[in-house]
Amino acid sequence: MIDVRLSEDQETLRKTVAEFARDEIAPVIGEYYEKGEFPYEIVAQMGRMGLFGLPFPEECGGMGGDYFALCLALEELARVDSSVAITLEAGVSLGAMPVFRYGTAAQRAEWLPALVSGEALGAFGLTEPGGGSDAGATRTTARRDGDNWVINGTKAFITNSGTDITRLVTVTAVTGELDGRKQISAIIVPAGTPGFTVSKKYSKVGWSASDTRELSFSDCVVPASNLLGEEGRGYAQFLSTLDEGRVAISAVSVGLAQGCVDECVKYVREREAFGHKIGEYQSIQFKIADMEARTHVARLAYYEAASRMLRNEPFKRQAAIAKLVASSAAMDNARDATQIFGGYGFMNEFPVGRFYRDAKILEIGEGTSEVQRMLIARDLGLQRPWQ
């Protein structure tokens, strides 16, 4: 028997985050969004609530929860705003989690307390200007020089990499070659390291209140002890990290999709056209019903992926399915919500305007929809003819 009901603790967490999002984020996030400002006070509040520590054990300073608890929080945050949700998602999944999974005892002791408390943010530098989804095409290099690594290269579209509270960026770099193939390693680069330059914030279509930047490394020297995990295993570590991240991004997508439903239901009960509330017209009812159905299916998809992950069962295919279905639901719902709102849906002062701007990146970030389809096909045993 399959039971998708939340436990009492899970439901309490969901309600707590939903209340925080409604009462603390919703009234102020529009101004942050319009100005393109990072919401430091909101992030600090999330830290005090323990949201950055949700999936980490108490001995690391965490809340002793699990990854599904994080996903529940992300969904409720994204129901109101995706910039805040992605700041938490990236801070946990890409900033702190790799250190927790692969770090030495010394690395965990040095970095995790601040990361899991939300006092500091970490970032993960994988994508490069010419690489995109082809992470294996990494050009950034790290050369061993005695007791140090010397890093040279550029990373693009890196979330949480340039805030005032960013403490580190873990970067992937080519550290050697074996049998004609690049050996990629992951290396921790502390913020402020000489030779590490953080560019100004991108001017983005959406996620305007989150921090996203290009990074460059020019003879950037860090200690050899900053190697994260095994040398030459950085790419494999990243793939595992990304599988988990796709479940989290699915939760963000479901939150945005549900937020579109929430806003539309409220709006059509108030808006009148041709003498009637527009919610009385069957065409509007059907459109909102389709939106709710998409959201429901996407939520079940990420619930299953998270469940398999927590049971230590293979979940790569399920994570890809969840990411594909949920990001598509978010984009479709944002488009339909904007249509229902009409001209008001094109105004940034209304949440659906922000939802529309935020939705598209969900079909791109942490693996495009095309990559998800490729992963699903491969897991079904369908290979490319040249493999």
Active site residues: 366
CA–centroid distance for 15 within its chain: 21
Distance CA(239)–CA(252), nearest Å, equals: 20
Strand partners, 187: 171, 227
- Report the C-alpha gap between 291 and 336 in whole angstroms: 8
- For residue 6, the SS3 value is coil
Which residues does residue 169 pair with via DSSP β-bridges, in sequence order?
123, 189
Helix (H, G, I), strand (E, B) or coil at 294: helix
Tell me the C-alpha distance between 63 and 147, whole Å. 36
Angstrom CA distances, 301 to 247, 297, 320, 325, stand at 9, 6, 10, 8
- The CA distance from 202 to 127, in Å, is 15
Answer yes or no: are the C-beta atoms of 16 and 48 closer than 8 Å: no
Look up residue 23 and give its two tokens.
């009462």
